[in-house]
Amino acid sequence: MPEVMCAWCGARIRESPVEHSHGICPSCDRQLRGVPDLSESELDALPFGVIVLSVDGMVQAYNRAESELAGRHPDEVIGRNFFTEVAPCTAVQAFQGAFQLFCAGDGEPKTFRFTFRFPSGSVRVQILFLRKEGGAAVAVRKL
């Protein structure tokens, strides 16, 4: 049986005949499931970045960890378009295209690796899209 790694934390998922949903370990699944419903201060307490986007890409929330990773203050990005104004490097099929498909789909969490290109340099991250009413929560973990 092939070894399955958690796509979010990298931990080895025990080999089992039971299919694990989306390759995310049970403990990450529990932690991530509630993220879209957290308050602003709860989002700020998370050890990984979270950006809440409307379907058309407007930034609705931007937590502390993401602010530190990207070097941008939430006030600079909330209310602006993530794909065109905040992070144009994400206006590609692999990110924006995947986001649009996710929003139009059945809400199954989607995870993939991406490279953010900040003025200060490139940062490899794991991205996870989570269903939220009217858009999605984008979780960002530095690799």
Interacting residues with Zn ion (CB under 5 A): 6, 8-9, 11, 25, 28
- Judged by CB, which is closer to Zn ion: 36, or 135? 36
Query: Which of 90, 84, 38 lies closest to 61 in space, CA to CA?
Result: 38
User: DSSP assignment, residue 86?
Assistant: I
- Judged by CB, which is closer to Zn ion: 132, or 141? 141
Least Å from the CB of residue 49 to Zn ion: 16
Q: Describe the chain by its helix, strand, coil percentages, rounded to 5.
A: 35, 30, 35
Q: What is the CA radius of gyration of the chain?
A: 15
Least Å from the CB of residue 24 to Zn ion: 6
- Judged by CB, which is closer to Zn ion: 8, or 129? 8
What is the distance of C-alpha 123 from the center of its chain?
14
Least Å from the CB of residue 114 to Zn ion: 18
- Judged by CB, which is closer to Zn ion: 25, or 130? 25
Least Å from the CB of residue 126 to Zn ion: 10
Could you tell me if 76 and 87 are in contact, meaning their C-beta atoms sit under 8 angstroms apart?
Answer: no
